[in-house]
Amino acid sequence: MKITNSDRAPFTISADAHAVLVHDEHELTRSGDKANSLLKGNLKNELKNTKFQIRKRNSFLFYTGLDSPSRIICIAIKKEDPYSVALREAAFTAVRTACSHGLTTLVLAFDSVKESETQAVAEGAWLASYQYLRYKTSKERNSGLTAVTIVTRKLQPDALRIADVNYRAVSLVKDLVNEPPDSLTPSTFAKEAEKIAQKNNLKSKTFLPNELEKMGAFAFLSVGKGSKEQGCMVHLTYEPKKKSKSHIVLVGKGITFDSGGLSLKPEKAMEHMKYDMTGAATALACVRAVAELQLPIKVTALLMATENMPGGGANRPGDVVRSMNGKTIEITNTDAEGRLALADGLTYAQTLKPDYIIDIATLTGAQVVGLGRLIGGVMGNDEGFVQEVANAGKDSGETLWPLPLFEPYREMIKSDIADIRNASGIPEAGTIQAGLFLSEFVEHPRWVHLDIAGPAWQERDSGVYGKAASGFGVRCLLKLITSKAQK
């Protein structure tokens, strides 16, 4: 599918359908009004007849009887703040509607004004076209839509360029996460990352187990002991040609499959655990996007790639491991492996002396229960920075909700035998317990932890996220990084 931008009058562009917006059941934007007058008021009549309901966010297709526009797709949209979020969803709906009617060309006449709005329209259109077909023997796409034209008063090439980079970043995460776990293992994941690094002139190094041992990353290494494949840490850096404003390190949880280890997960809970590497895929996609955009900011991604399996060498409940920062951890539950991997990732991140550290992980089942599949959890040790990340989420339409790193709960992760334990066995505030565990490994003053266990995976086709891997987190992190690059 090709997306282009045009500054022509929308109805002079020939297409199978033209999409316009409807506010509050009947109010049209400029292009909609134009269509209505071309149709001698029939568009508004039709809206009344069909009782177009804004609340249900519906869309409908109207046959005009004219040559152009021959079909009008009306998309209900709320005047929310930020409007770009609503526009992204509207573009997504319009493209899906056009696809379901078997159309090949579509004009989006949404009258977006700001660059960020046009960018959102393009992103929504692209996101609607995503499909994972690698393992389908008939590669037929379920749509023949080939060309989408976004109409704006003035051409906005930057908006489309950024949308393209953003979409491909989301799409990279989706592809990596959707890839079956027998194919995407720690080593193939690392190879894929190295390939991307080479193509984009990123500095890269994959730390293999012997090197990680020398570094003392025994918390991380312990996770892979029950798997045929040992874990590795991929270190990728983008450095701008000009002096960078600041340095951000992204640490991603990269469990290519989380069986739970000896604390084995039950069948249903294990089913989609290939998505436990979403955090690492997100870090990788972000650093690639920043390189493609050539932003004036240094970004490092640390992919903590390993597999949590119950083989003979696996962690046992009761084992004690020493982490890279010297603290000892009692492993009370081998299924709380993400925090073991991230502990060493965070310790290593701090040796790079960055300005900001963000870890991103599908860390707790409690996050899914507490916030569901459309909200991520955000925690950290600097309130201002947590808020900045949450705001980037709001602007990009990826909702993040702050949770407190509540000190009195730290008691729960104390161990009788070691410095701390990886699981308390207390089924309360699990997401915060995990955040507090990670905080044990952070001295850096500006650290944020994102728990995206829920939103990283969609059980149903769900707005711009689609079904299965969602790519949640990419757009919000890119928004944050972009704003840091401008400061």
Residues in touch with ligand BES (CB under 6 A):
258, 276, 333, 335-338, 362-366, 368, 423, 430, 453
Question: How near is the Cβ of 151 to ligand BES at its closest, in Å?
Answer: 41
- Contact assessment for residue 265 and residue 273, using Cβ atoms and an 8 Å cutoff: yes
Q: Residue 387 has which token pair?
A: 């808020």
Cα–Cα distance list, 68 to 40, 42, 98, 153, 457 (Å): 14, 15, 16, 20, 41
Question: How near is the Cβ of 364 to ligand BES at its closest, in Å?
Answer: 4
Indicate the pairing of strand 71-77 with strand 59-63: antiparallel
**Binding piece for Zn ion, criterion CB under 5 A, among 39-47, 159-167, 200-208, 270-278:** 270-278
> Which residue from 16, 46, 276, 388 is in contact with Zn ion, where contact means CB under 5 A?
276
Q: Which does 333 bind (CB under 5 to 8 A by kind): Zn ion, ligand BES, none?
A: ligand BES
Does residue 114 have an active-site annotation? Answer: no
Question: How near is the Cβ of 89 to Zn ion at its closest, in Å?
Answer: 30
| DSSP output for 118-177 | HHHHHHHHHHHT----TT-SS---S----EEEEE-SS--HHHHHHHHHHHHHHHHHHHHH
Contact characters 46-75, Zn ion, x per CB under 5 A: ------------------------------
Is residue 307 at the binding interface for Zn ion, with CB under 5 A as the rule?
A: no
Q: Residue 306 has which token pair?
A: 């390993």
Q: Which does 364 bind (CB under 5 to 8 A by kind): Zn ion, ligand BES, none?
A: ligand BES
Q: Which does 423 bind (CB under 5 to 8 A by kind): ligand BES, Zn ion, none?
A: ligand BES
Q: What's the CA gap between 458 and 445, in Å, rounded?
A: 33
Amino acid identity of residue 213, one-letter, is E
Residue of 44, 88, 253, 339 marked catalytic:
339
Q: What's the CA gap between 429 and 315, in Å, rounded?
A: 25
Question: How near is the Cβ of 334 to ligand BES at its closest, in Å?
Answer: 8
**What distance lies between CA 416 and its chain's CA centroid?**
38
Q: Which does 287 bind (CB under 5 to 8 A by kind): Zn ion, ligand BES, none?
A: none
Residue of 78, 114, 265, 327 marked catalytic:
265
| Exposure of 132 in the CB half-sphere (CA atoms within 13 A) | 18
Q: Based on CB atoms, which residue is closest to Zn ion, 226 or 338?
A: 338
**What distance lies between CA 459 and its chain's CA centroid?**
15
Q: Which does 398 bind (CB under 5 to 8 A by kind): ligand BES, Zn ion, none?
A: none
- Contact assessment for residue 451 and residue 377, using Cβ atoms and an 8 Å cutoff: yes
> Which residue from 258, 307, 330, 344 is in contact with Zn ion, where contact means CB under 5 A?
258
Does residue 265 have an active-site annotation? Answer: yes
The H or E element spanning position 448 is strand 447-451
Is residue 451 at the binding interface for Zn ion, with CB under 5 A as the rule?
A: no
Q: Based on CB atoms, which residue is closest to ligand BES, 38 or 270?
A: 270
Q: Which does 85 bind (CB under 5 to 8 A by kind): Zn ion, ligand BES, none?
A: none
Contact characters 319-338, Zn ion, x per CB under 5 A: ----------------x-xx
Helix (H) and strand (E) counts for the chain? 15, 20
Q: Based on CB atoms, which residue is closest to ligand BES, 82 or 317?
A: 317
Question: How near is the Cβ of 68 to ligand BES at its closest, in Å?
Answer: 49
Q: What's the CA gap between 8 and 220, in Å, rounded?
A: 56
- Contact assessment for residue 451 and residue 361, using Cβ atoms and an 8 Å cutoff: yes
Q: Based on CB atoms, which residue is closest to Zn ion, 258 or 398?
A: 258
List interacting residues with Zn ion (CB under 5 A).
Answer: 255, 258, 276, 335, 337-338
Show which residues are catalytic.
Answer: 265, 339
